Structure 1
Amino acid sequence: MSMPLLVVNLPRQTLTVIREGEPVRTYRISSAKNGAGERMGSGCTPRGRHVIRAKVGASCPVGTVFVGRRETGEIYSTELTEQFPERDWILTRILWLCGREQGRNRLGQVDTMRRYIYIHGCPDTEPMGVAASHGCIRMRNADIVDLFDLVEPGTPVLIEE
């Protein structure tokens, strides 16, 4: 079976898995509240051609909390939200993205990987279909588990407006 292509459509707030030219799954997502953009510190979702650099969390339970791509030992709960109200919750699985276009989303002040841009799970209370993240692409936990099993490092990702 050929490697899929992931297409993130920012206006529609969707991520579509395309295999052999045909869409096979579409998920609702939440991209950056600050809109599209590539600059370091912008809080924007980077556009263009990317690739999945690494997969993190393969055997973790749903709701596993990550900080710096490491498990904290916590499972997300409303009590944790109350305890850490400012935390940007990265849950369940991480697909770490790397830009493929030098000067646009790779190297220098526009490096997607060095910006730590992921496709990741978030609390199920967070809205999907609404731009609300800090730059990453958020998904429902069940959806990121499903997507995680469909892709490998090297899978191409296109983020488009």
Structure 2
Amino acid sequence: MTASNLNIVVHINEQLLNVYDDKDLLKSYAVCTAKNGVGEQMGSECTPRGAHVIRAKIGDREPLGRVFVGRRSTGEIYQIDDLKKQSDRDWILTRILWLSGLEKGKNRSGSVDTMRRYIYIHGAPDELVRKTPSSHGCIRMFNEDVIELFELIAVGTRVSIVE
């Protein structure tokens, strides 16, 4: 198994992210996608469909629960009480895998550009990863799972997001 053989499929309806080594299922993770469902438009807060690639990996060696704002570490570590105090905050924790669309006019360029929409696979408070769509468009994962995925895949890994 090499990182170049790996690919990811996010199944919106099942709220699962599967990692494949060629066609063999290697890992399966629970995820949480957008509360607003699927869609590609800028400002929709929907999870985009189609073919993507991991454009950047952010957060290498950061501790579990590290808080990110604008893809930068704040130096904070998330605590359960933080969610109670700031329940409307879009918590981005631990690791970020920044997605870039590959299909011009569908999820790349103009008002449908996944990367310009800042759509990530990222860690989130465990309470927010409950296999019920509730994100603002990103794909949320349990923090320990996103660390494992981050170590497993490389920049350039293909990601298909399907219903």
So what's the TM-score if we normalise by structure 2?
0.96
Give the unaligned 5+ runs of structure 2.
none
The answer (yes or no) to whether the contact 1:3–1:151 under 8 Å persists in 2 is: no
Q: Does 1:118 align with 2:120?
A: yes
Query: Paired residue for 1:29?
Result: 31
Structure 1 residue 143: Cα displacement: 0.5
Q: 1:3, 1:127 → 2: CA distance?
A: 28
Q: 1:134, 1:82 → 2: CA distance?
A: 18
Query: Paired residue for 1:73?
Result: 75
What is the one-letter code of the residue matched to 1:136? C
What is the one-letter code of the residue matched to 1:104? K
Q: 2:88, 2:33 → 1: CA distance?
A: 18
So what's the TM-score if we normalise by structure 1?
0.97
Q: Does 1:108 align with 2:110?
A: yes
Number of aligned residue pairs: give it: 161
Query: Paired residue for 1:144?
Result: 146
Cα RMSD, aligned residues only: 1.0
Structure with the largest fraction of helix: 2
Q: Deviations over 1:54-110 (max 9, x none)?
A: 000011000000000000010001332344332100000000000000000000000
Q: Which runs of 4+ in 1 moved over 4 A?
A: none
Give the match's secondary structure for 1:145. helix
Tell which deviates more after alignment, 124-133 or 31-40. Answer: 124-133
Q: 1:8 aligns with which of 5, 10, 14?
A: 10
What is the one-letter code of the residue matched to 1:128? R
